A = this chain, B = another copy of it.
């Protein structure tokens, strides 16, 4: 997505060879118009197949783009919780997600009330790195007996193995921007060029 790549080039900060900071429009401050454009892009891509009935994401940075995507499809958004919320009941799907950074395993949950075998789910998230969170969401879709339309990712770090893991497992992954390399020394972000 051209507009997104321009925004990344203008405002993205390379923190290291493996971490890109995009707090100014995606992870802390959010650009609403860009977020709407991303939702429309995901809709264009995923509306051609079987009818999507739910958009599934995970708190917090997935919510904004998950919402604008759900808006285009005219379906509800569900966001997985990383920690127990005040009113979360015990009837939940649970998935374990390993964090390489924190070196710990955490649970993510989705209430059974909001995903059923009748659903055709589109997973949306902001970053795809090692794919653990994405696989956790896939597991929840599978536990619900729902079918998976695919995964829409805003920024895929193609130098990490999440994309490969997911595609090798047969899932359809569509990223608005794929980063091949973060050159920390030259402060240069290299994208995979659009076909």
Chain A contact residues, CB within 8 Å of chain B: 15, 19, 21, 23-25, 27-33, 35-36, 59-60, 63-64, 67-68, 70-71, 74-79, 81, 85-88, 101, 110-111, 113-114
Contacts and interface: CB of A to CB of B under 8 A. Distances in A.
Given A60-B59, A113-B23, A36 B77 contact: no
The binding surface of chain A is classed by DSSP as mixed
Copies per complex? 2
Contacts of A85: 27-28
A74 B35 CA distance: 12
A182 to B, nearest CB: 13
Nearest to A101: B86
A169 to B, nearest CB: 25
Nearest to A73: B32
A67 B64 contact: yes
A70 to B, nearest CB: 5
Nearest to A78: B29
A32 to B, nearest CB: 4
A21 B87 contact: yes
